[in-house]
A and B are shown apart, each in its own frame.
Chain A
């Protein structure tokens, strides 16, 4: 299986994944499988978020289920021009317990923005080969 896209996991996402696997190790397969789908077919692995007016965001934010409906959410940005899938969040709690406004979005965003624009390659890991050669 090949992908024309690069699945880039930033430090902030990798830390979330470690916490997720500590808490929900039985969902390792589900997470891996969803990351693979997002890497290979980002526009169909999840649903795009509606009701957005910022032109930079329309059709770029995706949310996907991990472990089935009502379980966990993977949120990623897909930039078709740069051919990049950038996972931003994997929830630790079930959907019904999440307050979307209270998650540390700003912390993630500032860290990712700084590393993208300063070419800090060490802050990212490219998971594409690992996901597509399974």
Chain B
């Protein structure tokens, strides 16, 4: 009986992919701003400042670019969160529509800033509960960074980032902060079902594809009565 009890009290290890971890981490940062993140630069800087605190897991690497500390992977993950429908990018009132004309084609885009907001607080909250259980240290680092830097005027935030000693001594396009995420991030605070759920719900490949099939069912012209009968092959 004692042995069985000891076995039951042992927590099993499960894991989520590094990609899933990056998505939920960035989602946690965006959700940490009560009214959304004003501008991509702010998102980059706050993420950098969080990882600069040297938590044991650092999901993004940062290099020195024109606008300061910048992570290309973060940009990719931000787009993935948009494709998952978890965040939306809304134009700020300062943004301007730019147009260009090449031959007969006219291109349009927005310049001057976007606000990144969580689209569904309830769904995101359930995902972030898992993140909190998995990495309380990172959640704490995110909260304190947002409190300290998140709401500074953009120019002040940028100046403070430019003043950092490692930024001054690093050359353009050189590495400022190295990521250290393993391919699978293990945890004992979630069960296997929860890890699987996160990997599926935060996979753009899976969600976008399932949405395509659901759209197909909505738009279906299939005459089911004419579909041949069959069964699991023997």
Contact = CB atoms under 8 A, between A and B. Distances in A.
Interface of A: 6, 8-9, 14, 17-18, 21, 28, 31-32, 35, 49-54, 56-57, 60-61, 63, 70, 77, 79, 82, 84, 86, 88, 95-96, 99-103, 105-106, 108-110, 112-122, 124-127, 129-131
A53 B209 contact: no
B4 interface: no
A49 B200 contact: yes
Given A61-B210, A101-B19, A95 B233 contact: no
B205 to A, nearest CB: 5
Contacts of B52: none
A116 B232 contact: no
Nearest to A52: B201
Contact of B232 (A28, A86, A105, A112): A28
23 contacts: A17-B233, A31-B232, A49-B201, A53-B123, A63-B196, A84-B224, A100-B203, A101-B19, A101-B203, A109-B209, A112-B213, A112-B216, A116-B213, A116-B219, A116-B222, A117-B216, A118-B221, A121-B223, A124-B228, A125-B231, A127-B229, A130-B229, A130-B230
Interface of B: 17, 19-20, 84-86, 119-120, 123-124, 126-127, 192, 196-224, 226-234
